[in-house]
Chain A
Amino acid sequence: MSTLIEEVTRAVKQQGLSRRNFLKLTGVAGGGMVLAATLPSAAFGADDLPTLVGSAELNAFVQIASDGTITIYSANPEMGQGIKTALPMMIAEEMGANWDDVVVEQSPIDTARFGYQWTGGSAVVSSNYERMRKLGASAREMLIGAASEAMELPREELRAANSEVVHGSGKKLSFGDLAALAVRQPVPDESKLQLRDPSEFTIIGKSISGVDNLQIVTGDALYGMDVKVPGMVFGAYQKCPAIGGKAVSANLAVIKAMPGVLDAFIVEGNGRVDQLLSGVAIVGTSTWAVFNAKGRLEVKWDESGASKDSWTEMVANADRFLQGPGKTQVVNNGDIASGFSNSSNKIIESRYEYPFVSHLCLEPMNCTASFVKGTGGEADSVEVWAPTQGPMGIAPTLESLFGVAKDRVVTNQTRMGGSFGRRTSAEYVCEAVAMSRHVGKPVKLTWTRQDDLHHDYFRAGGFQSVRGAVDEKGRLVAWDQHAVGMEANGRPVFGSGFRQTEFPFLNLKNARGTLSLMEIDTPCGAWRAPGANTHAFVVQSFIHELAHLAGRDHLEFLLEIMGEPRWFKEGSAGALNTGRAAGTIRLAAEKAGWGKTLPEGRGLGLAFHFSHAAHVAEVAEVSVDANRKLTVHKVTAAVDVGPIMNPSGAENQVQGAIIDGLSTMLGQKITMEQGRIQQDNLDEYPVLRFPASPDVAVHFIESDFSPTGLGEPGLPPLAPAIGNAIFAASGYRVRTMPISDEGFTV
């Protein structure tokens, strides 16, 4: 079906066919229909918008075959966050489709037709909710128009439901029967489209199993790793262990003589870590052949320009930084001095630390690329098959790096075996293209697990000192927070800065937040809930420390900080709403049995965090024994992200974020010395296993606010909830992640 749409679109583009012609052509060629709608201007920059349906910039998401099969394109990349199911649900809902008739296909990459093809920031649901529904509503109106003609009944008396257009008299026609007629209907004016009232929903809000589940459980091809193209050979790429070093020479003759090796060569690269770093490429007849040869590779590296980063030095530098406030003042509310100088106030200061961590996607970085040298005056072209969060960025990158015109690049998006923010760079794509260009064959590049750990874009480590004062009544009266993070080229790396709006600054009258940054060369990037994933640990642990100092119940103390229900920026999903926050905090506490009597060595810990437009509270129930063996019995979460699209998928994201948060805080730590990452594989970078995995209960508050995403925000409250529970159980205060560094085991 994609072939049909591609053909038609090409025809439209090349011949400037009118929309009417386009629809006819589609109807004739496919026996089905293509419905298109304009994009609302809210989600994207107005200049980029495809506006005229049927023009060169058409959008097409829906086809109906005469047998009633409804094919819906999912245009955004799927990495396990569930949008390949959730976005088509929105379209199908407005159409009045029966979900059993729907087949979802991953769309080609063509932003002129499909809009912004990217995923990240837990933003795809919120930025597409109205747009997808309008696409569905547009399709529905064309089907109703067709039925009105066919049945000679006024369209006002018809409605679409269960893949049929029905009349009160009982007359009805199926979508499949109407498809050919519907393509001749005028495309409705977007501004006049009526969206269904949520009370009518039959698909949105229902638990729907993921559209790829059958392929997943039967081992069918879905992922970048599964791509096979004719004539393909296999590739591995060795970069300098000290990030940014250049390959000078290597034992290429030895490597070329190894079993299954077809070629080995040095790639100079352009020096950019997100594009093409220098390295040694090995191409062979199987993945094993090139991995095996890679193990025998001996390379002379020029490390003059390579990273010299050292975790040991960072720790030592942090101690110096934290002797006073940070150089950069981010927040300065009211007066903190009087709160800290008043002798009747109680004051506490604590130092927190968190490490660099890796994304550890189970499917390592990989890409299949076919570079075809132009012949007979034809220009070069490239086709890539890539697991990536940013497929729309591939063609421009390859144009700049390889001089292949953007319109000579075809990008195929594959399902991703996890990403968590990792697959937003294009270096593994560029490496595959460089290798394919060199050998003149399609190359499937696979990174080894070691490559994947060494050449990640890490969550940056950091150090914080927080000082707080509570008055005689136990109220929080002064807060002074100094975060030491990392910078590259003079700018904070992803997640290392913090904003004035970060909780709890807006909640507090007297608060200061300062920042210090260390210059590093280790690449850092988005890692599930950037910033929030470390900030929540510090802030929510320290609030518990203050509650304890004040001799107060943590729940009550936290709700007091939240204060009266108010929205810090009215109408902005990105702003904390203290009423919604308090709702989640109360619900999580209630469901977890806050205040219940627990045996010795067992405790409850509470934490809340606001990130990615989501209000999330979590309560952990843990036991700790005398040897610091930790058992996490249960984690209870309360989440307010507005209406839930797919309860099954939404709950899975929160369950997973909690397990991920626990796995990360227990034992994961990336260190580097002389610019070299020191962890090679899972034996040195431990992960949470079944026996230590807790029960998780998730509760949603389905408020009437507009829906927002869930890929990330379930994670940040987990670490402080566990830390606070450990304190409640044992009196030991966790201030360092991973907690294995403080002697804890599971």
Chain B
Amino acid sequence: MMGNWTLNNGGNSVAKYSLMVNGTRRQFEAEPEMPLLWALRDVMGLIGTKYGCGISLCGACTVHMDGTPVRSCTVRVSDVGEAEITTIEGLADPRNLHTLQQAWIDLDVAQCGYCQAGQIMTAAALLADKPNPSDADIDAAMAGNYCRCGTYVRVRAAIHRAAGQMASAQGLPAATVGHWEPARTEAQS
């Protein structure tokens, strides 16, 4: 690890870290055991990554480490090393959204919205790996991301929508199509 050393801070061990987060090198002091989640939120002020369970079971804290989705609540800052971290804030420029972010808005996926940054980060890694996922691919990749409000139907549909748009932007045939049919209204019976 580059440039890390231990200080004695009033009896408490802290170390200096220099991490690549969203393309920017960030230097800070923290206890080596501090999970990346809390370093992002409390030290770096990147609050888009959320705390839900603290034991890697809800997915709200999902970030990318060298492109792979990880649960930042159980990755210690001292274990990040030179890996490049991407958080929801670094997924795309807010003025030029990632196709998935736009699909989330277009399909009005969120209810409370608290889990959605984690959902999008896992989905982004899925599409980078499998640009044309089936429902089963989506279910398998997303199984670790819990949504308390139950937006799973729309998350699936939004991933399909984004996959299709990304494929057609590259001149490829339309990707998989989701099978969520929006609500219909009936005349008064």
Contacts and interface: CB of A to CB of B under 8 A. Distances in A.
A656 B111 contact: yes
Nearest to A584: B189
Nearest to A705: B188
Nearest to A682: B57
Given A209-B106, A287-B42, A690 B142 contact: yes
Interface residues of A, number: 85
A446 B54 CA distance: 12
Contact of B150 (A419, A655, A681, A703): A655
Contacts of A419: 112
A259 B31 contact: yes
Given A210-B108, A651-B182, A690-B139, A656 B54 contact: no
Interface string B1-42: 000000000011110000000000000001101110011011
Given A418-B148, A448-B54, A449-B53, A587 B42 contact: no
A226 interface: yes
A362 B150 contact: no
B113 A690 contact: no
Contact of B33 (A207, A217, A292): A292
Nearest to A419: B112
A361 B114 CA distance: 9
B70 interface: no
Given A207-B182, A225-B50, A289-B31, A702 B188 contact: yes
A690 B156 contact: yes
A42 B146 CA distance: 41
Contacts, number: 237
B58 A362 contact: yes
B148 A361 contact: yes
User: How many residues of B sit at the interface, in one of the four size bands?
Assistant: 35 or more
Contacts of A40: none
A258 B57 contact: no
A649 B154 CA distance: 12
Given A287-B41, A682-B57, A700-B186, A219 B34 contact: no
A236 to B, nearest CB: 12
Which among B39, B50, B186 has the greatest number of chain A C-beta atoms within 10 A?
A: B186
Contact of B113 (A80, A586, A587, A656): A80
B48 to A, nearest CB: 2
B83 interface: no
Contact of B94 (A218, A223, A653): A218
Which among B46, B55, B147, B151 has the greatest number of chain A C-beta atoms within 10 A?
A: B147
Interface string B73-89: 00000000000000111
Interface string B91-119: 01010010001001110111111111100
A74 interface: no
A681 B183 contact: no
A218 to B, nearest CB: 5
B45 interface: yes
Contact of B104 (A213, A695, A697): A213
Contacts of A656: 111, 149-151
A691 B45 CA distance: 34
Nearest to A661: B150
A541 B54 CA distance: 38
12 contacts: A217-B101, A222-B113, A288-B42, A362-B146, A364-B51, A418-B111, A583-B189, A655-B151, A660-B148, A683-B57, A700-B183, A702-B187
Interface of A: 79-82, 207-210, 212-214, 216-223, 225-226, 228, 234, 257-260, 285-289, 291-292, 360-364, 415-419, 446, 448-449, 583, 586-587, 644, 647-660, 663, 681-683, 687-691, 693, 695-704
